[in-house]
Amino acid sequence: MSKSLTHQQAMRYNRHIVLPKVDLDGQEALLNANICIIGIGGLGTAAATNLCASGVGSLTLIDHDTVEATNLPRQTLFSEQDVGTNKVEAAKARLSEINSDCDITVIAEPFSAPSSNQLSPVLKQAIERADVVLDCTDNTNSRDLINLLCFKLNTPLVSGAAIRFEGQLFVAIPGESRCYACLRTLFESPDLSCVEAGIFSPVVNIVGTYQAMLAMQVLMDFDNIPKNTLMTFDALSHEWRNWKLPKGVDCELCAC
């Protein structure tokens, strides 16, 4: 059964509700939503903070790593006291302080498997229950697996990435747009990680925040979601650019 906003919640989210594009229906769509965030690093912490504060009813956080001191410049949900603590547990504690109405489930497992059939049942169920999945991981194998599962389970996916001074975003909505694998056919995976190449901390927070915004707009059924489009951000030139996917990329997954 769908939940309705309480009077207290309606007052709390008033600045959203007065927006014609949001209104009560949009805020209640957030209240009844379950968003799964895979990867609680720079992207994931920025996205989770915004989604939790904005009134999303349920979040599922997936990550097996612990907080390190080198994470703190960009993973602003964590503090020095969290170093050595599992990321999802530390994130849940902080997010619960931001919004006690948000139901937060944590899964401290790596999101990887040779195939979707061998994925942990707990991880697969997390995607099955989700209304939107945010891919905030930093490796190609996880990204491919997340895309595969979202396509098979008909779950919208918002993918984000950031390295050096550059960020990118991609939205895939099964049945309405092409999938992330279509995009992957057009470029090779980078050989460098953020550890090797570096990352300018505001960039990863910008991209993670944008992922949260896109997820909220998907849930509220906005009519101008950037489908079939790679969005890129360059912090050195201060430019956003949109790149439309060409037709006929011959994707084996969604046959586009």
- Decide if pLDDT at 60 tops 70: yes
Asked if pLDDT for residue 255 goes beyond 70, the answer is no
Q: What is the pLDDT of residue 220?
A: 97
Residue 191: per-residue pLDDT: 52
Digit-coded pLDDT (tens) for 103-156: 999 999 888 765 555 777 888 899 999 999 999 998 888 898 999 999 999 999
Contact predicate 186/249, CB 8 Å: yes
Candidate from 9-13, 89-93, 190-194, 232-236 with smallest mean pLDDT: 190-194
pLDDT band at 26 (very low <50, low <70, confident <90, very high): very high
Q: What is the pLDDT of residues 202-235, one digit of tens each?
A: 999 999 999 999 999 999 999 999 999 999 999 9
The pLDDT of residue 192 is 54
The arithmetic mean of pLDDT across residues 182-208, rounded, is: 79
pLDDT beyond 90 at 248: no
Answer with the residue of higher pLDDT: 183 or 36.
Answer: 36
pLDDT digits (tens, 9 = 90+) for 237-246: 999 999 998 8
Give the residues across from 134 on adjacent strands.
37, 158
